[in-house]
Amino acid sequence: MIGRLFKFHGGIKPDAHKNESSGGAIRKAPLPARLVVPLRQSARAGAACIVAVGQRVLKGERIGEPEGFLGTGVHAPTSGTVAAIASCPMAHPSGLETPCVVIEPDGEDRWIEHAPFDYRAASRDEALAWLRDCGIVGLGGATFPSHVKLGRGSGIETLILNGAECEPWITCDDRLMRERAVDILAGANILRELIGARELVVGVEDNKPEAVAAMQAAAVGTPTRVVAVPALYPAGGEKQLIRVLTGVEIPYGKLGGDYGVRCFNVGTAHAVYRAFIHGEPLISRIVTLTGNCETPGNWEVAIGTPVADLLALARPKADTDRILMGGPMMGFAMPRLDVPVVKGTNCIISASPRLFPPAPPEQPCIRCTECAKACPVELQPFELYWHSRSKNFGKAQEYHLFDCIECGCCTYVCPAHIPLVDYFRFSKSEIWAREREKTAADQARERFEFRNFRQEREKAEKAAKLAAKAAETRAKLAEAGTAEAPAAADAPAAEDPKKALIAAALARAKAQKAEIQPQNTDNLSPQTQAEIADIEARRKVLEAVAATPAPQAAEAAAAPDEPRS
């Protein structure tokens, strides 16, 4: 157990703006007229719809089966009727659509039958399957499936509970720790048992003294340590918090589990507690409504609630010019307000020119290196900027572009007001697009090469079959050869496969012809029988002429015709 704190490189201290929304208790948001529940709660995986239009569902009833390794269940946030199953806009800067289940609440809010799940009596695989079916994912913003993050149940020494909440304006985790600290620690201990960790450490930024006190009071009499970490953005990043609490630095491409450390959000721990102790799936979460509004605060919101309905609770002021989902550092401006709340929605900010002034015009980079000093992963953003702007993506990768966590520290401190993170996101998207194109081209080339290989193989197989058939024919001809036929005449035919095949075909045709019996020859008149006999006689003469050598055939042809009967 390490008793001191460590530091990570860089970081910034923006205005926290926590007091605007952290003063009041968590309130329950009323149900809207329609809930739009996306079957794809994250970019990683979706769920298969298992309900039909017109079907009545109960609160907590599963409406989407998990698909794939990273899939999790999706559930009805309340009781009601399935009004539609259609593609609706998703909470994303692109404004793209995703399959959704639209539910009209009946106002009864009736639960399905649910009961606690005894994870100690069940196997570990059964416990992980329960988490997957309950739709438990990371509520810190990444929405990574918790049943996958729990890993193999071995190799983890320290479980870290992330209560830092370093992003400005967001206070949902702060209020959750103040009001439900006992439940959070109960869920964290379940995670610790499932993951096989020896110790549990809770990290909370020191600008939340009430949350620190509540968690410490709940941890009395347990081996859990609650540590107040210095308030420095982005201390709430997983790798940064691991560095501060343990001194372990996780390189790019590696996970905390590779170094014996695993990190979960406090909201995730609370959801785990509800899933195991009460048998409740994840159908709601705490959302901070703040910014340029009259009634900021934290609300417990049903998944699928349209953002427009939530804004009515916060009552944005008249000069609000845009709405942000997430914090001001890593969030995004919403293209429309009819998108629903998803499991990763932690904050909705009403922005105004007074609170968030427009960015000044971009100016040339002067290489002051302020961005490099602030970067928490020790990159050189000014070099990445030049290579990204010139579309020299290979060089950008050499400068470890994909180490960037897009925290926005470099953009925040840049005196030239360059939107550095936007350039980095552009470069990443271009590299991913090119890799997809290269993968598609490689697959097309492999298909073409396999097609040519298949054609050559079929050609070789056909030639081998013909050669085998010719050999078989030669063997049959050799066995069926007559004593009258001179051996010298048979040798060339036996040596030439084509001649052998032709001779065999002629022999078969002759044998078939000999087997043919005349049809309809009964009860013929004497005159008709005479004509047939004459025809047969002439045929035999022609066959004899064809069988004689050339000189004799010429003499026979020159001889006068015999009188015919």
Alpha-carbon distance of 146 to 264, in angstroms, equals 9
Inter-residue contact 165 to 208 (CB < 8 Å) = yes
Strands 332-333 and 297-302: unpaired
Question: Which of 299-332 are b and which e, b meaning 16 or more Cβ less than 10 Å from the residue's Cβ?
Answer: bebbbbbbbebbbebbebeeebeebbbbbbbbbe
Pair 336, 370 in one domain: no
On whether residue 243 sits in a domain, the answer given is yes
On whether residue 396 sits in a domain, the answer given is yes
Pair 175, 221 in one domain: yes
Cα 161-405-39 angle, rounded to 5 deg? 70
Pair 335, 378 in one domain: no
Inter-residue contact 16 to 207 (CB < 8 Å) = yes
Q: Which domain holds residue 397?
A: 359-473
Q: Where among 351, 377, 392 does a domain terminate?
A: 351
Nearest to 108 by CA among 77, 75, 80: 80
On whether residue 73 sits in a domain, the answer given is no
Number of domains present in the structure of the chain: 2
Alpha-carbon distance of 83 to 55, in angstroms, equals 8
Pair 255, 401 in one domain: no
On whether residue 218 sits in a domain, the answer given is yes
Neighbouring C-beta atoms of residue 473, cutoff 10 Å: 16
On whether residue 110 sits in a domain, the answer given is no
Q: Where among 473, 508, 524 does a domain terminate?
A: 473
Structure tokens at 479: 């066995």
Q: What is the pLDDT along the chain (565 residues), one digit of tens a residue?
A: 456 889 999 999 999 999 999 989 999 999 999 999 999 877 677 899 999 999 999 999 999 999 888 899 999 999 999 999 999 988 877 778 889 999 999 999 999 999 999 999 999 999 999 999 999 999 987 788 999 999 887 889 999 999 999 999 999 999 999 999 999 999 999 999 999 999 999 999 999 999 999 999 999 988 899 999 999 999 999 999 999 999 998 887 788 888 999 999 999 999 999 999 999 999 999 999 999 999 999 999 999 999 999 999 999 999 999 999 999 999 888 888 989 999 999 999 999 999 999 889 999 999 999 999 999 999 999 999 999 999 999 999 999 999 999 999 999 999 999 999 999 999 999 999 899 899 999 999 999 999 999 999 999 999 999 988 888 888 887 877 654 444 444 444 445 666 777 877 888 887 777 777 666 666 778 888 888 888 888 878 887 777 666 555 455 544 444 444 3
Pair 171, 23 in one domain: yes
Pair 285, 364 in one domain: no
Length of the chain, please?
565
Query: Can you give the pTM of this predicted structure?
Result: 0.78
On whether residue 184 sits in a domain, the answer given is yes
- Give the per-residue pLDDT at 519: 64
The CATH number for 424's domain is 1.10.1060
Crossing angle for the helix pair 420-480 and 497-515, to the nearest 10 degrees: 60
Pair 305, 442 in one domain: no
- Give the per-residue pLDDT at 176: 96
3-state secondary structure 434-489: HHHHHHHHHHHHHHHHHHHHHHHHHHHHHHHHHHHHHHHHHHHHHHHCCCCCCHHH
On whether residue 141 sits in a domain, the answer given is yes
- Give the per-residue pLDDT at 537: 85
Pair 197, 228 in one domain: yes
The CATH number for 268's domain is 3.40.50.11540
- Give the per-residue pLDDT at 484: 43
Pair 178, 298 in one domain: yes
Pair 210, 255 in one domain: yes
Cα 217-223-228 angle, rounded to 5 deg? 55
On whether residue 432 sits in a domain, the answer given is yes
Phi and psi angles of residue 289, each rounded to the nearest 5 degrees, phi first: -110, 115
Pair 326, 413 in one domain: no
Alpha-carbon distance of 424 to 406, in angstroms, equals 8
Pair 319, 384 in one domain: no
Q: Where among 302, 323, 351 does a domain terminate?
A: 351
Alpha-carbon distance of 126 to 138, in angstroms, equals 20
